[in-house]
C-alpha cells in the first residue's frame, strides 16, 4: 500500500505563488510512488488531515505561518510527522534578528545590523544608523523570505524605501556587503554543495530568484579555491547545527575580500524548476525525485 503524503502549499504569505509551484513540483515528482494530495493551510486543514490520514505532511509552505514555527506547532499538536525543521529551529531561522544574534554568538561572520521602527523620521534614522552601520545599507522585514521587501538604500532614498515597509512596525537594517552571491545546501548532516549566482539585477531579489526573464546566471561548481569552498561549506553546516535544523537548508552568503558573510539560513528552500537546492543536488548526482524522497523519509525517521 502506498504511503500517504499530504502536501501543504499556498498559504497567505507573500510567497504564496512560489509555495504552490513547489507543491505542484513535489506532487508531480512523487505521485507514482506515493498517494499524495495538495491542500491549503486554511480552515479545512484539520478536516483534510483527518480524512486523508497522512503518513507524512510535506511542508511546501514558504514565508510567514509556513516556515516560522506556526504551522509546525499546529502539526505537532496533531501528532503528524512533517518535513523540514521543527518549531524552534524554524522560528529562529525565520527571525533575522534572532538568527543573526545566534550567528554572532557562535562566531559566524554576518553583516552588522540594527533593528529600527519604520515610523522614525529621516534625522532619527540617519543618526541611529551612523552609530553602527555605514551607508549604503540593506533594509528588510524581520520575518519574510524570498527577498521580499528588501531594498538597498543610501542616505537620500532610505526614507522613501522605509515607507514601502510601513506595514511592518519594525525592520532590520543591515550593512551592505558587496561581492559574490554564494548559496550552500545542507542535507541532514551532509554538506551537499554550493552554487554561485550572478544576477543582472542589483542583487538576488525576488524577481531574480523566480523570473526566468531576470536571466540570473547560475555557476556550479563555484570558481573559488578548495580551502575557500571547504570553509563556506563548513560555515553552512555550522549554521544548520547552531539553529538545530533538520532536513534540508540553504544558507545564503556574500563573499567579499576573502571572507564569507552569512546573510541567512533558509529552512524551507524552494523546490521549483528555478530553485537552487535541486540544481545543486542534480550537479552532485542526486535526482529531484531522490531529493524529495530523502526529505520525506527524513521526516519519518526523525519523528
Instruction: Provide DSSP, 126-162.
Output: HHHHHHH-PSSEEEEETT--TTTT-EEE-TTTHHHHH
CB 58 within 8 A of CB 80: no
Residue 150, C-beta contacts closer than 8 angstroms, at least 6 positions apart: 138, 139, 140, 203, 205, 206
Helix 16-30 and helix 288-302: axis angle, to 10°?
100
DSSP states along 264-288: EEESS---STT-HHHHHHHHTT--H
CB 139 within 8 A of CB 129: no
15 catalytic residue (yes or no) = yes
298 catalytic residue (yes or no) = no
Q: Encode pLDDT of 234-293 as tens digits.
A: 999 999 999 999 999 999 999 999 999 999 999 999 998 779 999 999 999 999 999 999
pLDDT higher than 90, residue 127: no
Q: Encode pLDDT of 94-113 as tens digits.
A: 999 999 999 999 999 999 99
Rounded to whole angstroms, what are the CA distances from 153 to 106, 138, 140, 150, 259? 29, 6, 11, 10, 23
CB 246 within 8 A of CB 89: yes
Q: Encode pLDDT of 186-205 as tens digits.
A: 999 999 999 999 987 555 44
Look up cell 518549531; give the residue.
87
Check whether the bond before 136 is cis (ω within 30° of 0). yes
pTM: 0.90
Q: Encode pLDDT of 36-86 as tens digits.
A: 999 999 999 999 999 999 999 999 999 888 999 999 999 999 999 999 999
DSSP states along 195-213: EEEE-SSSSS-HHHHH-GG
Which structural domains are found in the chain, ordered by start? 4-83 (3.40.50.20), 93-108+178-302 (3.30.470.20), 113-175 (3.30.1490.20)
3-class state of residue 116 by DSSP: strand
264 catalytic residue (yes or no) = yes
CB 19 within 8 A of CB 285: no
Which strand (E) or helix (H) includes residue 172?
A: strand 170-175
154 catalytic residue (yes or no) = no
146 catalytic residue (yes or no) = yes
174 catalytic residue (yes or no) = no
DSSP states along 29-97: HHTTTSEEEEE-SSTTHHHHHHHH--SEEEE---STTTSSSHHHHHHHHTT--BSS--HHHHHHHHSHH
**More confident: 301 or 206:** 301
Catalytic residue among 146, 147, 251, 275: 146
For residue 162, what pLDDT is reported? 84
Catalytic residue among 67, 144, 181, 264: 264
Catalytic residue among 9, 10, 13, 15: 15
Closest to 186 in 3D by CA, of 244, 259, 273? 244
Question: Rg for the chain (alpha carbons), in Å?
Answer: 19
Kindly report the backbone phi and psi dihedral angles of residue 199, in degrees, each rounded to the nearest multiple of 5, phi listed first.
-75, 145
Amino acid at each position: 500500500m502506498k504511503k500517504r503524503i499530504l502536501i501543504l502549499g499556498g498559504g497567505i504569505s507573500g510567497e504564496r505563488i512560489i509555495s504552490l509551484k513547489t507543491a505542484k513540483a513535489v506532487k508531480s515528482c512523487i505521485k507514482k510512488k506515493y498517494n499524495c494530495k495538495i491542500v491549503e493551510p486554511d480552515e479545512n486543514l484539520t478536516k483534510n488531515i483527518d480524512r486523508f490520514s497522512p503518513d507524512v505532511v510535506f511542508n511546501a509552505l514558504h514565508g510567514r505561518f509556513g516556515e516560522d514555527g506556526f504551522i509546525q506547532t499546529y502539526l505537532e499538536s496533531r501528532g503528524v510527522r512533517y518535513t523540514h525543521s521543527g518549531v524552534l529551529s524554524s522560528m529562529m531561522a525565520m527571525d533575522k534578528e534572532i538568527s543573526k544574534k545566534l550567528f554572532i554568538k557562535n562566531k559566524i561572520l554576518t553583516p552588522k545590523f540594527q533593528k529600527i521602527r519604520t515610523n522614525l523620521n529621516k534625522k532619527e534614522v540617519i543618526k541611529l544608523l551612523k552609530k553602527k552601520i555605514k551607508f549604503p545599507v540593506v533594509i528588510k522585514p524581520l520575518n519574510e523570505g524570498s527577498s521580499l521587501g528588501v531594498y538597498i538604500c543610501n542616505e537620500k532614498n532610505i526614507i522613501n524605501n522605509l515607507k514601502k515597509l510601513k506595514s511592518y512596525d519594525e525592520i532590520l537594517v543591515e550593512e551592505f556587503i558587496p561581492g559574490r552571491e554564494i548559496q550552500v545546501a545542507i542535507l541532514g548532516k551532509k554538506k551537499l554543495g554550493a552554487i554561485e549566482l550572478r544576477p543582472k539585477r542589483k542583487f538576488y531579489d525576488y524577481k531574480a530568484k523566480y523570473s526566468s526573464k531576470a536571466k540570473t546566471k547560475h555557476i556550479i561548481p563555484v570558481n573559488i579555491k578548495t580551502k575557500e569552498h571547504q570553509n563556506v561549506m563548513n560555515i553552512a553546516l555550522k549554521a544548520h547545527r547552531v539553529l538545530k535544523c533538520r532536513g534540508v537548508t540553504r544558507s545564503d552568503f556574500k563573499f567579499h575580500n576573502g571572507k564569507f558573510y552569512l546573510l541567512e539560513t533558509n529552512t524551507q528552500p524552494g523546490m521549483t524548476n528555478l530553485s537552487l537546492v535541486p540544481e545543486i543536488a542534480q550537479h552532485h548526482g542526486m535526482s529531484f525525485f531522490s531529493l524529495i524522497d530523502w526529505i520525506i523519509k527524513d521526516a519519518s525517521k526523525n519523528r
